[in-house]
Amino acid sequence: MKTHRINFTLNGEKVALDVEPNDVLLDTLRGRLGIKSPKVGCDRGDCGTCTVLMNGRTVRSCLALAVEADGADLVTLEGANTRKWTQKLQKKFHEKNSFQCGFCAPGVILSATELLEKNPKPTTHDIKEAVAGNLCRCTGYEPIVEAIAETAKGN
Amino acid sequence: MPITTEFEYVKPRDMDEALHVFSLYREKARALAGGTDLVVHLKENLARPEVVVDIKALQELAGFTLKGGILRLGALVTFSDLIDSPVIKAKFPLLWEASLTVASTGVRNRATVAGNICSAVPSADSAPVLAVYDAEVLARSIRGERRVPIADWFTGPKKTALQPDEIVTAVEMRLPAKKHAGCYMKLSRYEGEDLAQGGIAVLAFSDNTYRVAACALGPKPARCPRTEALLAGNKLGEKLLARARETILQEVSPISDIRSSKEYRLHMTQVMLGRALEKAVARLFGKGPKYGTENIA
């Protein structure tokens, strides 16, 4: 296989990396770049724990090849300070104790970030739709939905 | 999970280059757009290509246009692109509604309509909608471009009319001239992301004609011509609905699988058909629920 040199922005910093065609973005982030907030869950796009923002949109990093990140702007939860809503969401989730084990937290917070960036006044239905692809096995989702709603309202 | 298959990665900047790769490698080349199916297949060794062709730099596959009543969806158009478009919501609300039911936001941000019909799983949510709009698939190779009616596109579970040297460039459909309204009814195990246990799309027209198509209720998504013929020319009423519910059972052939039994699917086919027809007709007269997933489940 021919190695590819890729250049991208990761949490506001420029990164250059040599990757193989069959390297998966999630594995590259975790294994080579020390970015551990995206988790390996189902590893096939269903659970949302590997969520990262690629050019402002949430994507499943388990379903992206690393080579596809060439030229992209990637944000993970480690780059929360680069987005307007992310740290506000983190504080609210913390304050309301909205997570138990926290495994799904990075994905949920990034999905909520994308939602609020597009729609700062979401309905409860909008919020549920936005995090429908992020499975949480601890909380029953109620405190998650509440935290996103309260963050949007700014209280 | 690492991908164990070894392949080369190319990202052509022009169409000719891309088509030459497919002409050379044929079955051993796979097109990569959103990757939401392909990467799963690579991980599970269901796909073992020699070359993966990233088509995302091909400008002529990008975006969609509505000109002269014809909607052209480039092969790179994602479900999120459709959901975010006021034009799609206003002019093709049924397509908009069905797009909302596909997986979840993080998948829809990458998954394309063209990819959905190339994967051709029987439960493809876009398929019954494309079927009732009489869509055409544009497939191109170095031999030229051809148009495949959606009715001829699906040839079996995960099988399509696409030739090994071709790629899909666009999907086109005409905005129906007559006043119409639609409804996509999707049965899934829970609200939020799930594959369809069954899906029914209906377009109802002001002249009392109807188009009906189903997914996940047979080996391939398909129109239901007998049901359409029974309904044609008639106003929807209880007696007609009862007959339509019986007729559609001759046109679906669901299996039992992990998501539901054959018997449940058959029963729910009748329920979904009734609800989809009633909602589409109500929408036709401006009385139905607004388009979206909120009022469908």
Q: Dump pLDDT digits (tens) for A46-56.
A: 999 999 999 99
Q: Which CATH superfamily includes the segment(s) B180-284? A: CO dehydrogenase flavoprotein, C-terminal domain (3.30.390.50)
Per the structure, the complete domain to which residue A129 belongs is given by 83-153
Q: Out of A79, A98, A129, pick the residue that ends a domain.
A: A79
- What is the predicted pLDDT for the residue at B279? 96
Q: What is the pLDDT of residue B181?
A: 98
Long-range contacts formed by B155-159: CB under 8 A, 24+ apart = B155/B220, B156/B219, B156/B220, B157/B120, B157/B121, B157/B122, B157/B219, B157/B220, B158/B119, B158/B120, B158/B121, B159/B120, B159/B220
> CATH for B8-54, among 3.40.50.2000, 3.10.20.440, 3.40.50.1980, 3.30.43.10?
3.30.43.10
3-class DSSP assignment, residue A5: strand
Mind spelling out the 3-state secondary structure of A22-91?
CCEHHHHHHHHCCCCCCCCCCCCCCCCCCEEEECCEEEEHHHCEHHHHCCCEEECHHHHHHCCCHHHHHH
B31: which residues sit within 8 A by CB, 6+ positions away?
B22, B38, B53, B55, B118, B167, B168
Higher pLDDT, B197 or B214: B214
Predicted confidence (pLDDT) at residue B191 exceeds the cutoff of 90: no
Q: What mean pLDDT comes out for the span B20-30?
A: 98
Are the beta carbons of B159 and B190 closer than 8 angstroms?
no
pLDDT for res A155: 61
For B13, B120, B155, the CA distances from A4, given in Å and listed in that order, are 16, 31, 37
pLDDT tier at B295, thresholds 50, 70, 90: low
Q: Which residues pair with A24 in a beta bridge?
A: A65
Asked if residue B297 has pLDDT above 70, the reply is: no
The answer to whether residue B190 scores a pLDDT higher than 60 is yes
Please tell me whether residue A120 adopts helix, strand or coil conformation. Answer: coil
Average pLDDT over chain B reads 96
Using pLDDT thresholds of 50, 70 and 90, give the confidence band for residue A103: very high
Q: What's the CA gap between A154 and B154, in Å, rounded?
A: 50
Domain with CATH 3.30.390.50 in chain B: 180-284
Residues A131 and A68 in one domain: no
**Rounded to the nearest 5 degrees, what angle is found at the Cα of A61, between the Cα atoms of A58 and A63?**
110
- List Cβ neighbours of B42 (8 Å cut-off, separation of 6 or more): A22, B3, B5, B49, B52
Chain-chain contact of A62 with B8 (C-beta, under 8 angstroms): no
CATH of the domain at A137: 1.10.150.120
> Where residue B296 falls among pLDDT bands split at 50, 70, 90?
low
Tens digits of residue pLDDT in B74-124: 999 999 999 999 999 999 999 999 999 999 999 999 999 999 999 999 999
The reported pLDDT for the residue numbered A59 is 98
Q: Is the pLDDT of residue B16 over 90?
A: yes
Residues A75 and A89 in one domain: no
Q: How many domains does chain A have?
A: 2
Q: What is the mean pLDDT of residues A58-83?
A: 97
A28 and A71 fall within a common domain: yes
- What CA–CA distance (Å, rounded) separates B142 from B26? 12
For residue A102, pLDDT over 90 is answered with: yes
A8 lies in the same domain as A69: yes
- Number of other CB atoms surrounding residue B226 within 10 Å: 14
pLDDT of residue B193: 77
Residue B87 CA from chain centroid, whole number: 19
Partners of residue B109 in chain A, C-beta under 8 Å: 57-59
The ipTM (two decimal places) reads 0.96
Could you tell me which residues come within 8 angstroms of residue B267 by beta carbon, excluding any fewer than 6 positions away? none
Q: How far is residue B98's CA from residue B293's CA, in Å, rounded to a whole number?
A: 8
Q: How many CB pairs under 8 A join A and B?
A: 101
Every domain of chain B with CATH number 3.30.43.10 lies at 8-54
Q: Give the chain B residue nearest A5 (alpha carbons).
A: B9
Q: What is the pLDDT of residue A124?
A: 96
Q: Are residues A19 and A70 in the same domain?
A: yes
Q: Is B217 on the interface with A (CB under 8 A)?
A: no
B31-55 pLDDT, tens digit per residue, is 999 999 999 999 999 999 999 999 9
pLDDT value at residue B1: 83
Structure token digits, residue B142: 């170095």
Indicate which CATH number applies to the domain containing A36. Answer: 3.10.20.30
Task: Enumerate residues 6+ apart whose C-beta is below 8 A from B67.
Answer: none
CATH class of B59-174: alpha beta
pLDDT over threshold 90, residue B136: yes
Interface of A with B in 76-135 (CB under 8 A): 107, 111, 114-115, 125, 128-130, 132-134
Q: Is A82 exposed, middle or buried (0-12, 13-18, 19+ CB in 10 A)?
A: middle
Of B190 and A69, the one with more pLDDT? A69
Q: Supply the pLDDT for residue B189.
A: 81
Q: What is the pLDDT of residue B205?
A: 98
Q: What are B215-263's pLDDT values in tens digits? A: 999 999 999 999 999 999 999 999 999 999 999 999 999 999 988 999 9
Q: Give the residue range(s) of CATH 3.30.465.10 domains in chain B.
A: 59-174
Residues A105 and A143 in one domain: yes
Residues A72 and A89 reside in one and the same domain: no
Answer with the one of A37, A55, A79 that is the final residue of a domain.
A79
Q: Which of A28, A52, A79 is the last residue of a domain?
A: A79
Give the percent of chain B with pLDDT over 90.
Answer: 93
Query: What are the phi and psi torsion angles at A87 (to 5°)?
Result: -70, -35
Task: Please tell me whether residues A111 and A144 are part of one structural domain.
Answer: yes
Closest approach of chain A CAs to the CA of B41, in angstroms?
A: 9
Note the pLDDT of residue B215. Answer: 95
With an 8 Å Cβ cutoff, are B39 and A130 in contact?
A: no
Residues A68 and A91 both lie in one domain: no
- Confidence (pLDDT) at B188: 85
The label of the residue with tokens 């690492």 reads B2
Q: Are residues A89 and A144 in the same domain?
A: yes
A16 and A39 in a single domain? The answer is yes
Is A95 found in the same domain as A61? no
